[in-house]
C-alpha cells in the first residue's frame, strides 16, 4: 500500500507532538495553538521533563540489548523538519543501525500504550526515515530503562498520521474550536476544563 500524501503546498509545518494531544482531544490543540490561555499544568508534567533529562543521561551508558540490537549509534533530542510530510518534531532518542533506524520515546508512566503515543512515535519514525534515508519498521516506548512497548510502524499507522496532520492543519487554518468526544474522565484530568463550558 502506498502512502497518499496531499500534493498541495503545505502552508505551515505542524509540530508532531500535537498528534498526541489531538488524539486525547482536538480541543486541546485549539487551546494550545490558537489561544493565549496559560494552562496550569499538573506536577507530573514537570516530573516528566526531569525524567526525560535523567533518561537521556542514563541511556548514554546503557547498551541496546533491551531492543535485541547488537549495535547501533544513538542520537538524542534530534530535531527534524520534513517538507514532504509537512510536520516536524524532536525525537527523544533514535538508534541507527547498518540497515534501519528506530525512534524511541521516554515515557514516565508504564501504562497501556495509548493511541496518541503510537501516532507520535509513527510520525517520528517517518521523520527519521527521510533524515537517515533508511527504513524504520519498529519503534520503542521505554520507561526507566525498561522496554515498555514495541510498536510496529505499519502503513495504516503512517496513513493515519498523515490524516491527523491534515486535520490539525485544517483546524488551525479555519480557527474554529472543534467538537470533542472526550469522556468525562478525560475532561476531569484536562488542564483546560475551565474553558470548556459545554462539557461539565
Question: Residues in the site for ligand SF4, rule: CB under 6 A?
Answer: 25, 27-28, 180, 182, 186-187, 190, 192-193, 196, 199
Q: Pick between residue 74 and residue 199 the one whose CB is nearest to ligand SF4.
A: 199
Q: Pick between residue 172 and residue 193 the one whose CB is nearest to ligand SF4.
A: 193
Instruction: State in angstroms the smallest separation of the CB of 182 from ligand SF4.
Output: 4
Q: Pick between residue 72 and residue 178 the one whose CB is nearest to ligand SF4.
A: 178
Instruction: State in angstroms the smallest separation of the CB of 150 from ligand SF4.
Output: 29
Instruction: State in angstroms the smallest separation of the CB of 50 from ligand SF4.
Output: 25
Task: Write the DSSP assignment of 6-26 as a string of letters.
Answer: --SPPSSPEETHHHHHHHH-H
Distance separating alpha carbons of residues 75 and 56, to the nearest angstrom: 10
Distance separating alpha carbons of residues 170 and 145, to the nearest angstrom: 38
CB 157 within 8 A of CB 122: yes
Beta bridge partners of 102: 95
Nearest to 133 by CA among 63, 171, 82: 82
Instruction: State in angstroms the smallest separation of the CB of 22 from ligand SF4.
Output: 11
Amino acid at each position: 500500500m502506498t502512502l497518499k500524501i496531499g500534493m498541495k503546498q503545505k502552508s505551515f509545518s505542524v509540530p508532531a507532538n500535537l498528534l498526541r494531544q489531538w488524539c486525547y482531544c482536538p480541543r486541546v490543540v485549539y487551546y494550545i495553538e490558537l489561544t493565549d490561555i496559560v494552562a496550569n499544568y499538573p506536577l507530573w508534567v514537570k516530573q516528566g521533563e526531569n525524567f526525560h533529562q535523567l533518561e537521556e543521561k542514563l541511556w548514554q551508558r546503557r547498551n541496546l540489548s533491551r531492543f535485541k540490537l547488537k549495535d547501533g549509534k544513538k542520537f538524542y533530542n534530534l530535531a527534524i523538519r520534513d517538507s514532504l510530510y509537512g510536520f516536524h518534531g524532536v525525537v527523544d532518542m533514535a538508534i541507527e543501525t547498518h540497515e534501519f533506524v528506530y525512534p524511541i520515546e521516554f515515557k514516565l508512566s508504564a501504562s497501556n500504550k495509548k493511541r496518541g503515543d503510537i501516532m507520535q512515535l509513527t510520525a517520528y519514525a517517518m521523520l527519521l526515515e527521510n533524515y537517515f534515508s533508511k527504513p524504520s519498521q519498529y519503534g520503542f516506548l521505554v520507561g526507566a530503562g525498561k522496554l515498555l512497548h514495541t510498536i510496529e510502524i505499519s502503513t495504516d499507522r503512517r496513513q493515519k498520521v498523515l490524516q491527523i496532520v491534515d486535520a490539525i492543519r485544517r483546524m488551525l487554518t479555519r480557527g474554529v474550536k472543534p467538537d470533542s468526544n472526550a469522556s468525562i474522565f478525560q475532561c476531569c484530568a484536562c488542564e483546560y476544563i475551565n474553558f470548556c463550558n459545554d462539557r461539565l
